[in-house]
Structure 1
Amino acid sequence: MDFYLNTLLPGLLTGAGVTVTVTLASLSIAVVLGFLLALLRQFASLKVMNLAIDVYVEFFRNIPALTHLFILYFGLASIGVTITSIPAAILGLGLIGAAITCDIYRSGFAALGLGQTEAARAVGMTPMQTIRYILSPQAFRIAMPPLGNYALQLMKDTSIVSAIAAPEIMFFARSMVTSSFKTTLIYSSVALIYLAMSIPLAWGVARLEGKLGGNAHV
Structure 2
Amino acid sequence: MIDLGVVLLILLDGARITVIIALGALVLAIALGFSLASASFLLRSRLVDTLIAIYAGILHTIPSLIWLLLVYFGLAHIGIRLPPVPAATAGLGIIGSAMLVEVFATAFRSVAAKQSEPALALGLSRLLAFRLVIVPNSWRISLPPLGNYALALVKDTTLAAAIAAPELMFQARALVNRTFETGLIYGLAACIYLGVAFILFRLTKRFEQVASQ
| TM-score normalised per structure 2 | 0.93
The 1-side partners of 2:23 and 2:59 are apart by 19
Equivalent in the alignment of 1:63? 62
Equivalent in the alignment of 2:185? 186
Question: Residue by residue, what CA displacement relative to the aligned partner does 1:133-172 show, whole Å, maximum 9, x if unpaired?
Answer: 1111111111111101111111111011000000000001
Name structure 1 gaps, 5 residues minimum. 214-218
Equivalent in the alignment of 2:118? 119
Equivalent in the alignment of 1:5? 5
Name structure 2 gaps, 5 residues minimum. none
* 1:168 and 2:167 are equivalent in the alignment: yes
Are the equivalent residues in 1 in contact too, given 2:72–2:82 (CA < 8 A)?
yes
1:31-180 superposed matches below 5 A: 31-180=30-179
The 1-side partners of 2:113 and 2:69 are apart by 43
State the 1:200 CA deviation.
1.9
Amino acid paired to 1:49: V
The 2-side partners of 1:209 and 1:146 are apart by 11
Question: Residue by residue, what CA displacement relative to the aligned partner does 1:105-153 show, whole Å, maximum 9, x if unpaired?
Answer: 1111122253411111111101110000111111111111110111111
State the 1:22 CA deviation.
0.5
The 2-side partners of 1:212 and 1:37 are apart by 23
Moved more, 24-33 or 45-54: 45-54
Are the equivalent residues in 2 in contact too, given 1:145–1:208 (CA < 8 A)?
no
Are the equivalent residues in 1 in contact too, given 2:112–2:134 (CA < 8 A)?
no
Q: Percent identity?
A: 39
The 1-side partners of 2:112 and 2:18 are apart by 40
| TM-score normalised per structure 1 | 0.91
The 2-side partners of 1:167 and 1:205 are apart by 26
- The alignment covers a number of residue pairs equal to 212
State the 1:208 CA deviation.
5.0
State the 1:179 CA deviation.
1.1
Q: Secondary structure at the match of 1:76?
A: helix
